[in-house]
Amino acid sequence: MFQYDNRFTAELPADTEPRNFRRQVFAACYSRVQPTPVPQPRLLAYSREMAAELGLSLEQVQSDTFLQVFAGNEILPGMDPFAMCYGGHQFGNWAGQLGDGRAINLAEVRGGEGRRWTLQLKGAGPTPYSRTADGLAVLRSSVREFLCSEAMHHLGVPTTRALSLVATGQDVLRDMFYDGNPQYEPGAVVCRVAPSFTRFGNFEILAARQDEALLRQLTDFTIRNDFPEFWESRATAERGPQFYADWLAEVCRRTATLMVHWMRVGFVHGVMNTDNLSILGLTIDYGPYGWLEDYDPNWTPNTTDAQGRRYAFGQQPQIGLWNLVRLANALWPLVLEKEPLQAALQVYSDRYQAEFQGMMAAKLGLSAYDEGLVERLFLLLGAQETDYTLFFRGLATHQEHALADDDALGLWDAEGRPLAMASAYYRPEQWTPEIQQQTQQWLSDYVNLLRSTGVAGSVRREQMNRVNPQFVLRNYLAQLAIDAAAAGDVGAIERLLEVLRRPYDDQLDQADYAARRPEWARQRAGCSMLSCSS
C-alpha cells in the first residue's frame, strides 16, 4: 500500500525500554509503541485529496485493510510505530516532558512526486507520554480535527492534513467542562498527515536536559530531511554556529507567514504552547481552536485561557515571537552567541510586519497598505458586533457597486447600513447614528482611494475574493456536523467538507453554510468556547 521511508526511527536514538508505561524518557527522541486495537471500527470520512497524494485508490480506501490500519488494529509490514518525546512551555511556564500522549506515528512514507509524509493516528491509545490520560479521543474533537485540517488546506493556510476519520465502536470517558461531571462519549481516531510532526518542544526537552549531543543530532537530522535545500546550500565546513542561526531565521520566516495567514482568515489556535508549534511553520494540533465570528482581538476559544487570554486572536503574532525566543534559547548550545540568534528573531518581526501589511492591502483591494485606513477600520469593526468573514467578503461587492454607480442611495438599506455588509452585523441596536456616520465616512474615504487607482471594481472584487473567503469552518457548523454524526448522519461531515473545499467560490446553492453565527449558538457548548478536554 505504501513505499516506506522511516528515517526518523532509522537515524535517531530510540527509547531503550520496550514496555509501554508512563515514564520519563531520556537520551531518546521517541519510543516505539503499538496502537491499541478497537472493537468495531467504521470509516466515517476521508480526504480524497490526501488519499490521492499518498497514491491510494478509491478501492484501497474502501478496503477492510485501510479501515483496520487507520483504526489502529493492524500494522502493515514496513511500518515502525512510535511516539515522539518532547517538552514545552504551556501558558508561559516550562512543563517539562510532554510528548505524544495520544498520537502514534505509524510510518513515514513516500507520496506523489516522492514527497515524504508521516502518517499519525490521534486517539490510538496510551504511550509512555500519556501521563494520567488514556491516549484516546472522542468523536467531537476528532470531527473538528479532521474538518479543520482539510479546511485550512483549502484556504491556503499551511497546515497538517487529515486522511481519515474512523469511529472506534467504544465509548470514552471525558469531563468536557472540567466540572466534575464526566460522561461517556463515542470514540474516534483521526489519521493526521504531515511532512513532519516535529515541534519546538522536541528541541526544548533536549536543551533542558543539557543533552547537547542529541540536540545537535536532532537539529542536523531536521535540517537535512525537512529543510533539504537549506542543508545542501552549505558545505560541511560551513555548518557551524551561523548555520544554525540562519536555520532559525528560516523557521522564523515560516512562522511569521503562518501567523499572517491565521490573521487573514480569522483563525484562533487557542493553545499556542511551544509543543504545539511546528518547526515547519504548519498549523498543528487542532484542539480548542475557533474561528473569529464577531471581530474581537481579545477573543479566545479556550476555556482554560478565558481569564488570561494569552492566546487570544490579537495576541497570536506576539506569542509566535515568544515561542520562537524559547526555540532560540534551546538552540543556544549550538550557537553560543546572542547576536546571531537576535538577528534571526528580528527576521520574524520584519517578515510579519511586511506580510501583514501586504495581506491587509490585499483584503481591501489596495495596491499599498494604508495604516490610517486600516486602523480606523478595526476600530469600526470592534465598535459593534461585526462578522469578520462576512464584512470583508461583502466589502468587495460594496466597492464594485460604489465605483460603478454614482447614486450612493442604492448602497444602503433602510437603517443606513451598507447593503453588501448588512448581514455582517449581529446586533441591530448597536447601529447608532454615530456608528452609521463613521462607517459611511470610512467607506467614502475607502472608495475615493480606490478610484485613484484606475482598477475596475469588478476586477478588484475578483482579486479580493481570492483572499477573503466566503466559507470558513464556523464553530457552530462543526458542532452541527458533530451532532449529526453522533445521531447517525455521517454524511453531514462530507457535505460540510465539500463546501469547505471551495471556500473562495460564491456557491450560491450553499449560502446557509456562509451565514453568521445564529443566536442559539452564542453560548452553546462547542459553538463558542471549548476546553482542552477531548
Residues 34, 92 within the same domain: yes
User: Residue 449 phi/psi, 5° resolution?
Assistant: -65, -40
The verdict on whether 275 is a catalytic residue reads yes
- What pLDDT is stored for residue 254 in this prediction? 98
What's the chain's Rg over C-alpha atoms?
24
Residues 9, 116 within the same domain: yes
Return the ∠ at Cα 509 (arms to 504 and 511), rounded to 5°: 65
- What pLDDT is stored for residue 407 in this prediction? 62
Query: How far is CA 395 from its chain centroid?
Result: 26
Mean per-residue pLDDT, 426-447:
96
In a domain, 516, yes or no: no
> Do residues 301 and 530 touch, judged by C-beta distance below 8 A?
yes
Mean per-residue pLDDT, 480-502:
96
Locate 264 and state its grid cell: 487573514
Q: Which of 23-37, 163-177, 390-404 has the lowest mean pLDDT?
A: 163-177
Any residues with CB less than 8 A from the CB of 435 and at least 6 apart, and which?
A: 380, 383, 384
User: Residue 494 phi/psi, 5° resolution?
Assistant: -65, -40
pLDDT band per the 50, 70, 90 thresholds, residue 526: confident
Locate 197 and state its grid cell: 510532526
Using the 3D structure, point to which of 450, 465, 480 is the last residue of a domain.
465
Please give the Cα distance from 49 to 55 (Å, whole number).
Answer: 10
C-alpha distances in angstroms, 316 versus 28, 229, 250, 390? 31, 29, 19, 22
Amino acid at 210: Q
pLDDT tens profile 317-343? 999 999 999 999 999 999 999 999 999
In a domain, 482, yes or no: no
In a domain, 458, yes or no: yes
Residues 212, 349 within the same domain: yes
In a domain, 500, yes or no: no
- Residue 120: give the domain boundaries: 3-200
Mean per-residue pLDDT, 45-59:
97
pLDDT tens profile 368-381? 999 999 999 999 99
- What pLDDT is stored for residue 409 in this prediction? 66
- What pLDDT is stored for residue 534 in this prediction? 47
Mean per-residue pLDDT, 409-415:
86
- pLDDT of 177 above 90: no
Contacts within 8 Å (CB) and 24+ apart, 399-408? 399/365, 399/446, 399/447, 399/450, 399/457, 399/460, 399/461, 399/464, 400/457, 400/458, 400/460, 400/461, 401/457, 402/443, 402/447, 402/457, 403/447, 403/450, 403/451, 403/456, 403/457, 404/457, 404/458
Secondary structure (3-state) at 8: helix
- What pLDDT is stored for residue 352 in this prediction? 98
In a domain, 477, yes or no: no
Q: How many domains does the chain have?
A: 3
Residues 224, 337 within the same domain: yes
Residues 249, 127 within the same domain: no
Using the 3D structure, point to which of 465, 491, 519 is the last residue of a domain.
465
Give which of 103, 86, 96 is closest to 198, Cα–Cα: 86
In a domain, 514, yes or no: no
pLDDT tens profile 80-95? 999 999 999 999 999 9
Residues 187, 287 within the same domain: no
Residues 348, 452 within the same domain: no
Give which of 440, 515, 437, 520 is closest to 471, Cα–Cα: 515
User: Which residue is listed with cell 469531563?
Assistant: 175
- What pLDDT is stored for residue 454 in this prediction? 86
Residues 107, 48 within the same domain: yes
In a domain, 529, yes or no: no
State the catalytic residue, choosing from 15, 275, 305, 387.
275
> Do residues 395 and 438 touch, judged by C-beta distance below 8 A?
no
Residues 74, 134 within the same domain: yes
Instruction: Identify which has the larger pLDDT, 527 or 3.
Output: 3
Residues 434, 343 within the same domain: no
Any residues with CB less than 8 A from the CB of 429 and at least 6 apart, and which?
A: none
Q: Which of 138-147, 307-316, 448-457 has the lowest mean pLDDT?
A: 448-457
Residues 30, 169 within the same domain: yes
What's the sign of the alpha-carbon dihedral 15, 16, 20, 24?
negative
Per-residue three-class SS string for 56-96: CCHHHHCCHHHHHHHHCCCCCCCCCCEEECCEEEECCEEEE
Total number of residues shown for the chain: 534
CA atoms within a 13 Å half-sphere pointing along the CA-CB vector of 502: 10
- pLDDT of 9 above 80: yes
Share of the chain above pLDDT 90, in %: 92
Mean pLDDT over all residues of the chain?
95
Amino acid at 224: R
Residues 292, 408 within the same domain: no
> Do residues 262 and 320 touch, judged by C-beta distance below 8 A?
no
pLDDT tens profile 119-137? 999 999 999 999 888 999 9
For the chain, how far is it from start to end, CA to CA, in angstroms?
31
Please give the Cα distance from 104 to 520 (Å, whole number).
Answer: 38
In a domain, 507, yes or no: no
Using the 3D structure, point to which of 149, 175, 200 is the last residue of a domain.
200
Share of the chain above pLDDT 70, in %: 98
